[in-house]
Amino acid sequence: PTVANLERITINFTITNLPYTSDLENPDSAKYRATQRVMNTLLDRLMKESSIGPNFQRCMTTAFRYG
């Protein structure tokens, strides 16, 4: 079988209605895991409906952090 060449891209954005708390620094916290699950689901949906949809594999939240 042919192995596809995968490319990882990084997307940064601001969620204006999600106040940052220290729980979002800890990948083991319930708030981090719940927020990660929701974000991955929503971004997966969005990306699958975009022009790269046929080639899109999955979203993976790596960190929460906003200035």
pLDDT, tens only, 2-16: 656 778 888 888 888
- Domain residue limits, the chain: 22-55
Tokens of 58: 């999955």
pTM for the whole structure? 0.77
Residue 63, amino acid: A
Q: Among 66, 61, 11, 12, which Cα is nearest to 35's?
A: 61
Q: Over the stretch 9-45, which tens digit does the pLDDT of each residue have?
A: 888 888 889 889 999 999 999 999 999 999 999 999 9
Q: Which residue has the tokens 């699950």?
A: 37
Residue 47 contacts residue 53 (beta carbons within 8 Å): yes
